[in-house]
Amino acid sequence: MDKVTVLFTPDNVAVQVEPGTSLLQAAGLAGISLVSSCGGDGTCGRCLVKVEDGHVRVAETGNLSKKAKQSGLVLACQSFVESNVVIGIPSMSRLTEHQVLLDENQLMEEDIGTDEGFFFRPLCRVVELTLSPPTLAENVADWERLQTALRNVIDCSDIRISLPVLRRLPELLRTDDWRVTVIVAQMNDCAEVVDIAAGHVQKELNLYGLAIDIGTTTVAINLIDLKSGLPVGQKGSYNRQASFGDDVISRIIHASEASGGLPELQSAVISTINDLVAELLQLSNIDAHDVRMVTVAGNTTMTHLFLGLSPKYIRLEPYIPLAASTPAVRASELGLNINPAAYVVCFPSVASYVGGDIVAGTLVTNLAQEERIILLIDIGTNGEMVLGNKDWLVTAACSAGPAFEGGGITFGMRAMKGAIDKIKVDPATFDVQVSTVGRCKAQGICGSGLINCLATLRAVGIIDRTGKLQTDLSTPRLRQGDDGWEFVLVYGNDTAHGRDIVITEHDIKNLMRAKAAVYAGIRSMLQAVQLTEDMIDCVLIAGGFGNCLNIRDAITIGLLPDLPTEKYRFIGNSSLKGARLALISQQAWQEAQLLGSKMTYLELSAGNEFMDEFMSALFLPHTDMTRFPSVTNLK
């Protein structure tokens, strides 16, 4: 059959596709990423597009409202091209400019390396050497001669070299009277001479590395000058894998069940990284060839997908990853557009749901050197946590679901422009004022906004402690919607898309489950080590929320333990920081390897403890109100 043309507006991008291709796939081919939380199952109702001209075959309309159908909206994943069509993409369906947590304030010029007690010694560095020239009596071969000289400088006996470099060795050694500058990559107990230049030219040589945090939702990259250890630039964007589902589970399903799913996911994340790197390099005018070392921190599934390893058994009981620690690979093997011989190393994972990102976070927060008892929580789709100090470390993961990242919430969205991050409700009239990210017209609600929303609605009595909307209140904002009772946060005339932004009772229940899972995880972990909440000296909050999260709100809804707010600290994207630290310190990288095996993993799905805790946490703030004295006293 002949190919047909799909023209996307307002981008005005046309692609030729086989008839029968879904609009979601077509958009992907056109380089347009649509929101698709369910990964193309037709269930999330996010990939709405408008058929402006022509006709498509609609297999499913899912939960689309009548109004939406009448206005010509279809689900891109469930609509298939049969002839030439023109498709309009509403802004709400588009994955756009993403607010990725990069920690501009916190990360940039911090003196990592000294603060944490790790020496500055990058995984890849430049070394100037002066070799003693050979004589008739001292007739060691060139390569062995170089090795001997190197051993005096680096603390490693196993030194290797690649064939192409070896071939160039003899002339380079002799060009400037046995003075050379070598670039050495060194990890663990093995070093490799990756490049050689004649003469002492350290100053002229450029050497860069990348620290990458691959999150389920976002990818963030630091470009680091490995000679100084200082960041040159940073960039982040959404993980292009998002088009295949919001959470790790839907990605794993796609990777293991769809044909070609695994390479598709791998290339999605590689292309995300490549685009970011290209931008970074262009901005700072750096040659891709000079980027020779990459450290990657990601959750277990992300690490698997990045390396093209099958994550299939992570999802199936008893939840076994393919590898906890993975070998160093070459950039060319992954298709990264940097020096093809550059080494790429990934942080080791602890278990299926506690990955390298958590190891990196533990590394950079120096948890394993602390006297005090520290709780590190990364509240993302998967709430991972680490508890302990220098003597012991336990870790667990609780599946909080994507609610805090906007998934499964009617108007949930990530913290992009137009996301409501705070609301104010008049207790008498129930009128609502909202503030949004970027101070523009509201488009949806982001995680911290949802938490604030829950706390605020409870405070003014719009919901009770079970999360039920109090339908007997007299306000037109409370009404029966398509999905049961809902509360209008912003009326359509003040929103970016013209639709009323509501929070439904169903959304509230989803959020309650998410917050209950996180709190239950913390409790289960504390109980496993027989500690009480007040014995925690410090709680470090990492991950997507960043500084947006209001601790008071989080305690009010029972997401976080009722500790003095001074005990809480935001550490931002600790995964990226850890990756950067390891990139510039061999000692830190070695410590990371150890940490991975030092942490005791608690499987929360074994036993009833977690479930009991979870059930009693499904209340605002908690069924056991004595655990939240500061909240109860407020009343």
Q: How near is the Cβ of 623 to another protein at its closest, in Å?
A: 5
Q: Among residues 126 and 516, whose Cβ is nearest to another protein?
A: 516
Q: How near is the Cβ of 464 to another protein at its closest, in Å?
A: 6
Q: Among residues 464 and 534, whose Cβ is nearest to another protein?
A: 464
Q: Among residues 228 and 466, whose Cβ is nearest to another protein?
A: 466
Of the candidates 407, 388, 376, the residue with the CA atom closest to the CA atom of residue 543: 376
Please spell the DSSP secondary structure of 212-240, one letter per residue: EEE-SSEEEEEEEETTTTEEEEEEEEE-G
| Contacting range for another protein; rule: CB under 8 A; set: 101-109, 364-372, 520-528, 620-628 | 620-628
CA 12 centroid distance within chain: 31
| Contacting range for another protein; rule: CB under 8 A; set: 110-118, 261-269, 466-474, 590-598 | 466-474
Q: How near is the Cβ of 4 to another protein at its closest, in Å?
A: 53
CA-to-CA distance for 36 and 19, rounded, in angstroms? 22
CA-to-CA distance for 302 and 117, rounded, in angstroms? 29
Contact status: 619 vs another protein (CB under 8 A)? yes
Of the candidates 311, 304, 319, the residue with the CA atom closest to the CA atom of residue 352: 319
Of the candidates 152, 147, 142, 192, the residue with the CA atom closest to the CA atom of residue 172: 142
| Contacting range for another protein; rule: CB under 8 A; set: 36-44, 127-135, 313-321, 464-472 | 464-472
CA-to-CA distance for 510 and 515, rounded, in angstroms? 9
Q: How near is the Cβ of 619 to another protein at its closest, in Å?
A: 5
Q: Tell me which residues in 472-531 interact with another protein (CB under 8 A).
A: 472
Q: Is there a cis peptide before residue 133, judged by omega within 30 degrees of 0? A: no
| SS3 of residue 105 by DSSP | helix
DSSP-derived secondary structure letter, 131? P
State the first-to-last Cα distance of the chain, in angstroms, to the nearest integer.
69
Q: Among residues 518 and 551, whose Cβ is nearest to another protein?
A: 518
CB contact set of 578 (below 8 Å; sequence gap of 6+): 297, 347, 357, 359, 360, 361, 362, 363, 364, 592
Q: Among residues 320 and 634, whose Cβ is nearest to another protein?
A: 634
Q: Among residues 171 and 624, whose Cβ is nearest to another protein?
A: 624
Contacting another protein (CB under 8 A), which of 230, 615, 629, 634? 615
Contact status: 465 vs another protein (CB under 8 A)? yes
Q: How near is the Cβ of 504 to another protein at its closest, in Å?
A: 17
CA-to-CA distance for 394 and 390, rounded, in angstroms? 11
In the numeric block, the tokens 């750096």 are attached to 286
Q: Tell me which residues in 564-603 interact with another protein (CB under 8 A).
A: none
Q: Among residues 208 and 430, whose Cβ is nearest to another protein?
A: 430
Q: How near is the Cβ of 635 to another protein at its closest, in Å?
A: 8
Q: How near is the Cβ of 397 to another protein at its closest, in Å?
A: 23
Contact status: 468 vs another protein (CB under 8 A)? yes
| Contacting range for another protein; rule: CB under 8 A; set: 173-181, 252-260, 291-299, 615-623 | 615-623
Where would I find the H helices in 393-545? 447-459, 505-528
| Contacting range for another protein; rule: CB under 8 A; set: 390-398, 465-473, 522-530, 594-602 | 465-473
- Total length of the chain: 635
Contact status: 466 vs another protein (CB under 8 A)? yes
Contact status: 618 vs another protein (CB under 8 A)? yes
| SS3 of residue 241 by DSSP | helix
Q: How near is the Cβ of 563 to another protein at its closest, in Å?
A: 22
| SS3 of residue 96 by DSSP | coil
CB contact set of 270 (below 8 Å; sequence gap of 6+): 306, 334, 335, 336
Number of residues that bind another protein (CB under 8 A): 13
| Contacting range for another protein; rule: CB under 8 A; set: 8-16, 186-194, 304-312, 612-620 | 612-620
Contact status: 258 vs another protein (CB under 8 A)? no
Q: Among residues 66 and 635, whose Cβ is nearest to another protein?
A: 635
Please spell the DSSP secondary structure of 498-509, one letter per residue: SSPEEEEHHHHH
Q: Among residues 175 and 466, whose Cβ is nearest to another protein?
A: 466
Q: Among residues 52 and 464, whose Cβ is nearest to another protein?
A: 464
Contacting another protein (CB under 8 A), which of 144, 158, 464, 494? 464
CA-to-CA distance for 401 and 514, rounded, in angstroms? 6
CA 406 centroid distance within chain: 14
Q: How near is the Cβ of 523 to another protein at its closest, in Å?
A: 14
Contact status: 616 vs another protein (CB under 8 A)? yes
**For residue 633, with 0-12 CB atoms within 10 Å meaning exposed, 13-18 middle and 19 or more buried, which class applies?**
exposed
Contact status: 633 vs another protein (CB under 8 A)? no
Q: Among residues 465 and 497, whose Cβ is nearest to another protein?
A: 465
| Strands, sheet with 568-572, edge to edge from the N-terminal-most edge strand | 568-572, 538-542, 374-379, 382-388, 393-399, 600-602
CA dihedral of residues 418, 422, 428, 431 (deg, nearest 10): 0
Q: How near is the Cβ of 467 to another protein at its closest, in Å?
A: 11
CA-to-CA distance for 384 and 525, rounded, in angstroms? 11
| Contacting range for another protein; rule: CB under 8 A; set: 196-204, 223-231, 341-349, 621-629 | 621-629
Q: Among residues 235 and 515, whose Cβ is nearest to another protein?
A: 515
Contact status: 634 vs another protein (CB under 8 A)? no
Of the candidates 472, 503, 471, the residue with the CA atom closest to the CA atom of residue 489: 503
Q: How near is the Cβ of 618 to another protein at its closest, in Å?
A: 7
Using CB under 8 A as the criterion, which residues of the chain lie in contact with another protein when the complex forms? Answer: 464-466, 468, 472, 615-616, 618-619, 623-625, 635
